[in-house]
Every structure is written in C-alpha cells, then in structure tokens.
Amino acid sequence: MIMANEKKLVEAITSMEEDFAQWYTDVVKKAELCAYSSLKGCMILLPAGYAIWENIQKELDARFKETGVENVYLPMFIPESLLQKEKDHVEGFAPEVALVTQGGTETLPERLVVRPTSETLFCDLYANIVQSYRDLPKLYNQWCSVVRWEKTTRPFLRTTEFLWQEGHTAHATAEEAEERTIQMLNVYADFCEQVLAIPMIKGRKTDKEKFAGAESTYTIEALMHDGKALQSGTSHNFGDGFAKAFNIQYTDKDNTLKYVHQTSWGMTTRLIGAVIMVHGDNSGLVLPPKIAPVQVMVIPVMQHKEGVLEKAVEIKEALSRNFRVGLDDSDKKPGWKFSEQEMRGIPVRMELGPKDIEAGQAVLVRRDTREKTIVSLDELEAKLSELLDRIQKEMLERARKHRDEHTYTAHTTEEFKEIVSTKQGFIKAMWCGDEACELKIKEETGASSRCMPFEQEKISENCVCCGKPAKTMVYWGKAY
Amino acid sequence: MIMANEKKLVEAITSMEEDFAQWYTDVVKKAELCAYSSLKGCMILLPAGYAIWENIQKELDARFKETGVENVYLPMFIPESLLQKEKDHVEGFAPEVALVTQGGTETLPERLVVRPTSETLFCDLYANIVQSYRDLPKLYNQWCSVVRWEKTTRPFLRTTEFLWQEGHTAHATAEEAEERTIQMLNVYADFCEQVLAIPMIKGRKTDKEKFAGAESTYTIEALMHDGKALQSGTSHNFGDGFAKAFNIQYTDKDNTLKYVHQTSWGMTTRLIGAVIMVHGDNSGLVLPPKIAPVQVMVIPVMQHKEGVLEKAVEIKEALSRNFRVGLDDSDKKPGWKFSEQEMRGIPVRMELGPKDIEAGQAVLVRRDTREKTIVSLDELEAKLSELLDRIQKEMLERARKHRDEHTYTAHTTEEFKEIVSTKQGFIKAMWCGDEACELKIKEETGASSRCMPFEQEKISENCVCCGKPAKTMVYWGKAY
C-alpha cells in the first residue's frame, strides 16, 4: 500500500541543472527538514532538520568550550534606549527589528526590541560585572534565536527568526581581542571543513560589508553547487568602540582605568542550507556522516522471510553502540525505502536479505557515490567505520575540487564581466581599496566583494575596476 | 591580596532561619548563578547557572528520546488570531502576553504574541501534517524560552522570560493520550528523584488549578526547605478540545475521519530554584553530583612547594576522564578557596598538600555533610565514584525525610488552621470536590490545593471544609 506522503516522494524533484532554486525548495520539503508556519518568513524545523542542528551544536559547542568559552543566557528583549547607545550599531539594525509595545494589560513606557543580535545586552552586563583585570577575559556565548524583519525569505538561508550562537568576549588588550577574533574564525573554518565537509575561504570583509559597529569583520565564505557564494560565519573585532559607548572599564595592574576590547562571532542554521547546496544531488540530500542524524539505515530485503527481521534488529542493536543507526522495517517495498534513504541523505544504507544472511554478509551502499560493497558480517563494524571516514573525507575533497574548478581570475574589467556572464563561481581580482570601485563592480556585474582573503596572490598591479595601483586581492561573487 | 569579589563573599549570607527569601536571593547572587538585566523581571543566566541548566537538559532530553520523542523548533511569534482559536486557552493567557506591533519599518496588520506556550502553533502544524493514522503518534518537543508578563518576579521561580521544554503530542485515541500524559509525568518525577535528588508527590490538579484548555492536568509537587510547596512540572491531557478548535483530523484504518487526542508537558529553569531551596544551607548552594557542573574541586595546599601543583594538575587530568573536575590554582588562600567551593555547591573538594603527596593520599571533603575521608591516591577514582554515588543517594534521603517530617494531616478545619499557623509543610486533608471549599480554604489559610495524589489515603469520611462526604484526599500547602 502506498501512503499519501509516499506519493509525494515519487514525484521527481526538480533537477538542479534545470532550476537550482526550485531544486533547493523541493529538497528542503521532501527531506522533511522544515515546514512553513502561519507566519510569513518564519519556518518550522522538523525533526530531520532540527536533528542536524543538534549535531552542529554539539560539535561546535565542544570546540568553543575547548577554547575556554562559557555558555550563558541573556534576555530576548532589549530596551530601545539600550540598542541606541552605539551609533553605527543602531543604524545597522534599527530598520529591521520587531518591537514589543504591549506587555500584559499595559502599554509599555519604553518599547522593547526583540533581539536581532545581543552586543548591547552583553555590554550592559559587562559594564556591571567587569571591575578588575582579574575579571578578564570574559568569554561568553549563547545559543538562542534572533529576529530580523526580512522582506524576502528562504528556508535556512534567510528567515525572520533564526537559530544561532553568538559569542561575545571582553579582553584587557587590543591584541588579545584581535587574537580571539581570528581564533574563532579558525574554529569556524576547521569545523566547516572537518564536520560539514565544506572548504572555506578565510578573509576580512571590506569596510562596506563589515558588521554594524565593528572595527573589522572576518568571514568564511563557501561556494555552493550553483556557483554562488554563501557567507557562512563571521567574527568581529569591536576594538573599544562599544566599551566607550557603554563605559566598560577595568582597573589594570598599574591601577589605572582602561576600556576593554571586545569581539563577537556567530554561526546560524544557515549552515544547514550550505550543506544542502554543497553536497545535495538530484536524488535529494547528501549528509556528511559527522552530522547525519542517521548514519546507516538498515533495510531488510524480503523481511517476511524467517530470520531476516530478527537478524536486522540484532545488527542494528550491535551497531548502535558506535554509530547512529536506523532500521526501516515498515511495510514499504525495499526500492521505495532506498529512495527515502537517498532523499533524506543518509550516508550509508545496509541491505540485508536471506541470501546475505546465509552468506554471512551485508551490502553497504554509499549515498554520495552509490558505490556498493559486500562486507562480511564479522567485519561489519570496522568496515563501516572505515567507510564513513572515507565518505567524510571524499565529500570534502569533491567540494574543494568543485570550488577550485569554479574559481576564476580576472585581470581587467572586461575579463571580469566576461566571467560573470559566462560562468558561475568565485572571481579573484585586485582592488585599489576605494569603495567607489567596489560599488561599481556590484552594480555593473551583480558580484559583491566576499572577502580580502588571508592567502593573498598578486594577480596584477592594478585595480580591476579603476586601473589605479591595487592594494589587495579580493574574492568576488554573486551571493545568497 | 583579596579581590573585590572575594570581599563580597566573606560577608556572611543571611541565614535561612532568619529570612529564607533573603537567604535565597543571597545564594543566587553569591554563587553567581544569575545577574539582573536592565529589563525588570528578566534575568541573565551566568555560566554557573546556565551550566546546571545544560546538565538538566542533557539528562531530560535523553530520557525524552528514549520514549520516542523528537525535537523540533517552532517560531517564537503567534499571530493573535491563532492564539484565540481555543476559548479557554486564550482566556488563560491573553492577560499576560507581550505583543509585537511593529516589524521593520511597518506597523503589522496583525499583532504577534511572543509565545507564552506553543499549543496553538503545534496544533496549526499538526493540522497541516497529520492526515492518516500512519502519521500518528506525533511526539514532538522543543527547548526554547517563553514570555509571560509577570507583576512580581523572582530569580528562577517566576520571571518574565524563562527557559523550558514543551512537549506536544498527538495521538489516535483518548487512551493513548492519557497514557502519554502519565508516562511523561513519571519521566519528570523519576528525573527529579534520580538526578535532582528531590522527591515528588505525583497527582492531579483540581479543575480550578488545571491548565487553560486542558481536560486534566497532572503535576509533581516538591517541598522546599522552608515548608512551602513548589509545582515542579506539569503534564496535560487535552482530549480532543484543541483538535476540534484547530480541525486536526486523521483518516483511521476504517476509513473514517477522527479527531486526534493531544497532550503537552513542560519543565522549566524553575527546577534550579527547587535545587537551591531543597538542598542549600547557610554556606550556600549544595548541588547533587549528577547536575553539578563541577563535581570535584581540587584545591592544592601550600601550592608554592615543589611538586604540589604538578601533582594536582596530574590528578585533575586523570580524574577528568570520568568526572567533571576543577582545579583552583589561583593565589587565594586555601581557606578562601574552601568557602568559594562551598558557596558554589561543588559536591566534593579534594585537599592536596605536600604531606598528603608524601603519604600518597588526598583528603576528600563532602559539601553536604562536611565529612572528611582520607583516601589513598591509588584508589582515588574508585573512592570518588563511590562517594559521589553516596552523596547523591543521601541527598535524596534527607530531602525525603524532611518532606515526610513536614507533612501533616488535618481532620477538621480547626486542625487545618492550627497546622497552618504553627507549622510549615504539606497538609493532607479530605475534600468534597466542591470548588467553593477549595476557595474558602485558600482564602482563610493561604494554602492552595497542590494536587489530588495518585497515592490516596482515607483520612476521614468528610470534607475538611464543609463536612459533607469527601471524594478525595488532597495535598494542600502554601506555594511559590
């Protein structure tokens, strides 16, 4: 018997070559990652989507704590006057905030902003609890949701409310703050490569693209399968700008009052969008083993035959000690179960039928390459472990190869325009540092400056836009 | 040298016998569990407080998942019209909600409620995704914060915004929904006893005290050290009331359309308040080992002597494989470090000086009883494990003994009033089931009905208030 939701699944998803945006929406929906809510622009994370976020959280949180970060929780509301304390910051965020004006039966004397980010709240806290150099550094982080009133939204990539973590640190010196800013960017980039299997370009944002109130913003940028860029995490150095606005001072060892230096850094559920768009294919989601909620799906073949289901259960339980294992013992046909496992991006499926059991073996099929291996049941655990490691590694290699093959070099404006109109990917080109050139390129080609990479190359002597002497190489690209 | 925050600590906290409420506030502040924010009624969870919540989450979440529950995330905003769909529910919550009226630059066409609880959002989702009996049950839970506009607030116990989990399930039958309601209440009670070392009275709320929109509400009630009751978790059976209001129907096996039956259940950061008020003493917090962020604090004595600090680090690292271990190698005096460890409620401190090292031993001191044991370093890990188990067990026993010694029985109104005016604790008394009697007792004595316990006793034949035939025994008490 075919169920209602099975019928939906068999309709082919749009192919990514035909319409990448529609392919993305189809995958998000058919892999049951999220559902739309009654409220435009807000999404519901369903179990399959939320479980990926839980794995991301677990991995990131452990990495944060290794560097001495502690978790806290601050209120979701910011009194409007508090948001206004730092001039650049309020200019950046005021146009996109949600405001609470009524609480219980009373109209509030002061409007409350639903946090779009929490710099101001952390500053308010640090002003209260930091007195001496002994109280520094403060290395706080929180996991929460934030709200930014967006006009056009897209699941995971841009939603009115989204889940994220925001780290906020306070340090005695400018050097220490800069060091922490870079350290967290490196934590992010390593996490993306090692866990999400997505290679990152690390660099600094131009002044135009930096965070509202920051002295400098660092970013990691990834290339999606369609050749568009995705800003995947940012780390900001605030210098002492917020400290001065909020009067966060400490008594140093020399008994003088000094301002602290601050940083903040954040990553969001947008990372799930990156995973979909880097690794997915025309059969659906492809999840890296390290964040897959289910790493292996055991699918019995001819499960009505005596002993098949029992053996499948036995294997599932044995494997569950070291892997995240599912068992599909529903009454659907095996072929249908295979499609479902592929749609959901489960890295490996294990097929097990009466003949396999007789031969003391199982068939392992990789989701990413569809490669089949026959494995002796005695060696199952070791082979599976090897296979998952190999998948993780090869997914990163493939993503890097794709990224490198879609990274182009432009020496002149003409070349830049030629690349933009015929190819999709990153463009490396020199820049003089003048915002006018940056704006002109964006306007004429649609490609924005993604970052000034830490790994610089001297492509030419001159700015790709104005021809004046160049200061730096920039990665450009159309972006989500 | 004594630091600013050390000075604060040495001021004695108010004794609980003198002023329990002030003692509570002092402990919350001096153990650095939370800080006040600029926003009245909203608190900041500092690292020491949030880490307890993380441990609670981890333990509870694993227990939920064992029963098949899956985590999701729904939006924080509820369109006002959605909240109004179930009549009793909106009546219960409307007076205490925060309303968003402005989003970005526009005044919203419909006001948005910041979720006080998410029944209506889950109903809206289930109406969309439940079609067939095969889609049932839905066993969803979310970890998030909610907002209820409170007039008087108190850290952990009652705040405008608080952290919690809310489980929402949908079932094919009334029986299954009732079974799940009780099952989750049992999960809560077991968790509180086994992990928080707090014994619970399980029972049903009277109609007056039940949740807005519920058919029946079950509760677990604990007794604090001052003899007041604390409602610690609730589980609600909604029957098909919400299903009818939101039209959540499924096609059953017999091909007819039926309404689902729903439940919800929640626990909050209030549990941290319970831990403080059940286990704390006049030296500060006392944490049960299972939720203590640090279980053992290694404190070197004469740490300037050669080899002491090295040995302390070595032991800390060895123990960290199986325990949550801290090492206080600051330049404070050992006596001061002891006070800090006591204030923070760390279950065991390990004192280690040059003589101990020479003798191949360490001194373990229990936080709860202050009992000292000298332990050979060879056996440290085994002895520590035993000790932590013993502490956990004895904390529960002590809390149970205190609760039982402060549970009284009233046969008549006079006896009830006598107990209320001379003692602090639970009062067991019979009730006719008439709300008028329940209200009268509350009004005349200040004690509210806590629950109709599952474990009933027949104290007398008649209602303690009106003298008419009694239907049930009720636990009464003054409550937080």
- Percent of chain B past pLDDT 90, that is, above it, reads 92
- Name which of A366, A348, A350, A346 is nearest A285 in CA terms: A346
Alpha-carbon radius of gyration of chain A: 25
Residues A260-309: pLDDT tens digits?
Answer: 999 999 999 999 999 999 999 999 999 999 999 999 999 999 999 999 99
- Name which of A424, A386, A396 is nearest A408 in CA terms: A424
Task: Name the E strands within A194-289.
Answer: 201-204, 216-223, 229-239, 249-251, 257-259, 261-268
CB contacts, 8 Å: A112 with chain B: 39, 98
Which CATH architecture describes the domain A407-477? 2-Layer Sandwich (3.30)
Residue B102 has its nearest CB partner, among A73, A98, A105, at A98
B146: nearest CA partner in chain A: A76
Residues B348-383: pLDDT tens digits?
Answer: 999 999 999 999 999 999 999 999 999 999 999 999
> What pLDDT is attached to residue B6?
47
Alpha-carbon span A203 to A193, nearest angstrom: 16
Q: Are B352 and B308 in contact (CB under 8 A)?
A: yes
Q: Answer yes or no: do A101 and B103 touch at CB < 8 A.
A: no
Amino acid, single-letter form, for residue B366:
R
Instruction: Pick the range with the lowest mean pLDDT from A225-239, A329-343, A356-370, A423-437.
Output: A329-343
Alpha-carbon span A355 to A350, nearest angstrom: 14
Q: At which residue do the structure tokens 């040495």 appear?
A: B10
Q: Are B470 and B429 in contact (CB under 8 A)?
A: no
Q: Which of residues 60-89 of A touch B (CB under 8 A)?
A: 70-79, 82
CA A199 to chain centroid, in Å, comes to 12
CB contacts, 8 Å: A98 with chain B: 77, 100, 102-104, 112
Q: Is the pLDDT score of B1 beyond 60?
A: no
SS3 assignment, position A469: strand
> What pLDDT is attached to residue B8?
52
Q: Are B427 and B475 in contact (CB under 8 A)?
A: yes
> What pLDDT is attached to residue A257?
98
Q: Give the domain B14-279 fold.
A: BirA Bifunctional Protein; domain 2 (3.30.930)
SS3 assignment, position B387: helix
Q: Answer yes or no: do B38 and A77 touch at CB < 8 A.
A: no
Q: Is the pLDDT score of B94 beyond 50?
A: yes
Residue B71 has its nearest CB partner, among A47, A111, A124, at A47
Q: Is the pLDDT score of A389 beyond 70?
A: yes
How many CB atoms sit inside 10 A of residue A302's CB?
12
Alpha-carbon radius of gyration of chain B: 25
DSSP assignment of A68-96 equals T-EE-B--SEEEHHHHTTSHHHHHHHGGG
Residues B412-446: pLDDT tens digits?
Answer: 999 999 999 999 999 999 999 999 999 999 999 99
> What pLDDT is attached to residue A40?
84
- Percent of chain B past pLDDT 70, that is, above it, reads 98
CA B441 to chain centroid, in Å, comes to 27
Q: Which CA distances in Å does A280 have to A195, A227, A272, B439? A: 16, 14, 11, 62
**What would the CATH number be for the domain defined by A31-279?**
3.30.930.10
How close is the nearest chain A Cα to the Cα of B75, in Å?
6
Residue B50 has its nearest CB partner, among A72, A128, A147, at A72
| Annotated domain spans of chain A | 31-279, 296-388, 407-477
Q: What is the separation, in whole angstroms, between the first and last Cα of chain A?
A: 41
Q: Is the pLDDT score of A9 beyond 70?
A: no
Q: Answer yes or no: do B103 and A43 touch at CB < 8 A.
A: no
Alpha-carbon span B14 to B30, nearest angstrom: 11
Instruction: Pick the range with the lowest mean pLDDT from A221-230, B147-156, B470-479.
Output: B147-156
Q: Is the pLDDT score of A209 beyond 50?
A: yes
Average pLDDT, chain B: 95
SS3 assignment, position A143: strand
Q: Is the pLDDT score of A210 beyond 80?
A: yes
Answer with the residue of higher pLDDT: A422 or B94: A422
Burial (CB count <10 Å: 0-12, 13-18, 19+), residue A276: buried
**Which of B66, B69, B93, B102 should we substitute to test contact with A (largest number of A Cβ atoms within 10 Å)?**
B102
Q: Is the pLDDT score of A12 beyond 90?
A: no
> What pLDDT is attached to residue A105?
87
Alpha-carbon span A212 to A91, nearest angstrom: 7
Q: Are B32 and B341 in contact (CB under 8 A)?
A: no
Q: What is the separation, in whole angstroms, between the first and last Cα of chain B?
A: 41
A49: nearest CA partner in chain B: B72
* Predicted complex ipTM: 0.95
How many CB atoms sit inside 10 A of residue B86's CB?
22
- Name which of B393, B357, B333, B284 is nearest B27 in CA terms: B284
Residue B213 has φ and ψ, to the nearest 5°, of 110, -10
Q: Which of residues 86-125 of A touch B (CB under 8 A)?
A: 95-105, 111-112, 114, 121, 124-125
Residue A29 has φ and ψ, to the nearest 5°, of -80, -45
**Given the DSSP bridges, would you call strands B296-300 and B348-352 parallel, antiparallel or unpaired?**
parallel
Q: Are A362 and A375 in contact (CB under 8 A)?
A: yes
Q: Is the pLDDT score of B3 beyond 60?
A: no
Alpha-carbon span B388 to B364, nearest angstrom: 11
Residue B72 has its nearest CB partner, among A50, A95, A128, at A50
DSSP assignment of B130-148 equals --BGGG--EEEEEEEEEE-
Q: Is the pLDDT score of A4 beyond 50?
A: no
Mean pLDDT for A155-176 is: 97
Instruction: Pick the range with the lowest mean pLDDT from A41-55, B86-100, B285-299.
Output: B86-100
> What pLDDT is attached to residue B336?
92
Mean pLDDT for B279-307 is: 96
> What pLDDT is attached to residue A81?
94
Residue A161 has its nearest CB partner, among B76, B97, B104, at B76
Residue A144 sits at the chain B interface (C-beta within 8 Å)? yes
Mean pLDDT for A453-467 is: 96
Q: At which residue do the structure tokens 């070791």 appear?
A: A382
Alpha-carbon span B192 to B183, nearest angstrom: 14
Cis peptide bond N-terminal to B137, omega within 30: yes
- Name which of A166, A186, A199 is nearest A274 in CA terms: A199
Q: Is the pLDDT score of B335 beyond 60?
A: yes
Rounded to 5, what percent of chain B is helix, strand, coil?
Answer: 40, 30, 35
> What pLDDT is attached to residue B5?
46
Q: At which residue do the structure tokens 């608080």 appear?
A: B162
**pTM value > 0.90:** yes
CB contacts, 8 Å: A159 with chain B: none
When pLDDT is cut at 50, 70 and 90, the band that residue A152 belongs to is confident
Q: Answer yes or no: do B35 and A125 touch at CB < 8 A.
A: yes
Beta sheet of B106-114, edge-to-edge order: A77-79, A106-114, A98-103, B98-103, B106-114, B77-79
Q: Is the pLDDT score of B89 beyond 90?
A: no
Q: Is the pLDDT score of B26 beyond 50?
A: yes
Mean pLDDT for A210-228 is: 96
Mean pLDDT for B288-295 is: 98
Q: Which of residues 18-47 of B touch A (CB under 8 A)?
A: 35, 37-39, 42-47
Residue B103 has its nearest CB partner, among A82, A134, A149, at A149
Q: Is the domain covering A296-388 a CATH 1.10.10.10 domain?
A: no
Alpha-carbon span A59 to A193, nearest angstrom: 12
